[in-house]
Structure 1
């Protein structure tokens, strides 16, 4: 008895003929929720547009639909044009604000900026395995560091461990296109370069800590990172902020209005400025004083200075007196003579 031949599975599908059917087909390929990496209006618009193009390409492949050909044959019109607005509105509806995720992204950006600044200061290259000052480690014979950062990188081109690989960081460098890269030595002993953005968060912390340990990053907080009261220079200040009561996470300040800020020392609402700006303000004030004002403030006597030196010795004595004062002492003097 002759065997019946297996039927060939049907592969042709009819492209949706109306807008409602096409829209429903597109929503099938959307996730239930979206967690954007930025909540800015432009970022959201860009995200919705990219998601529209991603799903559109899926539908075209599913139905073997040549959109370019259709557009050429229909006066430049695509069947997707009439559903794009509704699709993007559905994207907005499914958006969720995961502030923990956004905090991680902010931390990663901060770490990558810190690493970039350190590499830039070292002529765009830092050896982290060999002490290869100023050149790639392959070009130099140098002593090894006792420890080197070990990180995990994610690259979808990897075949093992779902795209993750553990590796030792051999060096950090900025290439001719301004991209920050790290040279890694993988588990099989091979060397490869990867963008710093593919290093996992714990690895970025490991690199930053290593750079700080070896003096490439200062452990001190910069004056332009500290906020003080613009009126008196105190750091005993508070500002109103939005906080997620469920996640207990900081979202952002309420605004830039002075009434959102409070200084305990002034006991008043005050605008804020950076510590660097306030120090510069005090130095400008000090340098603007005349000899009589300096005499009154410091207690130094002009008549005690040698005659004929144009009061140079007096000025030097007063400046030395001022420079020997700490920040809070200078601030107290500044307040006494500025009606604060």
Structure 2
């Protein structure tokens, strides 16, 4: 599988950049692929460990859903908040805890599961890594249940291999999209979009929200909204999706961030320049993608709100927005798009 330049961030002087307040995403350490000799493409063999609040995990659950792999690639869901200081294993660890109570709802979250991929009911994602001598703890993880090994923990590569091997993995989708079409021109267009979307939107949201330096934040803020404006213009010719009439990997990669923008990132990531509702074409695109088979069930704004705001200093989770209507209900209403900074009929 060829390396995708939009899978990871440049690590040059990462320590110095973090020290001056910049968020620098680390590099995933497991980079095997389905189709390698040790990891054949077979139905029922592979398992995903995810957290539904995580946008990188959301890429993978979206791919699993739109490619019709729900029955053949199994799934465990971690609680959206990680362990606290009082946990005997330590803080900030992903935990499979279906009975843990969410502060937002006052009850356990029904999507959360025990750990079933290894067969040993491990509590922490970190324990899965420790079995292979790794100190990593990130999600998502693609796991081989037969070999008992981690295949890959880089979301962009996982979604690409699910697409490449969808049929052999047991896809049940009748109208399965080709996330990366065979046409070289489309591939080039998707690659260019992927690169810009990753740098300025997907990772850019974190650059803005988790920066402790005003200048770094301002640069990320400007790039984020500049790209939203460019995407709004791209969609202004009436095309249904970013590269034309069909849903591709570029759409899939953009969706998790825009899905979170109005109800979460506008506040939590300090991206309050505009709502997606203010971009008429982007809002209609967002609603169009949300309506695709499997997409609505591949994410959860309850998990997003709990995960992002539950980690803030006082753990209080905002209840809104309620106008023009609650989210995700609003995503069923493309007509709500309003004239704003990027709005265009």
Establish whether TM, by shorter chain, passes 0.5.
Answer: no
Larger Rg, first or second structure (1 or 2): 1
Q: TM-score range by the shorter chain?
A: under 0.3
- Could you state the TM-score of these two structures normalised by the residue count of structure 1? 0.23
Higher strand share: 1
If asked which structure has higher relative contact order (CA below 8 Å, sep 6+), I would say 2
- Could you state the TM-score of these two structures normalised by the residue count of structure 2? 0.23
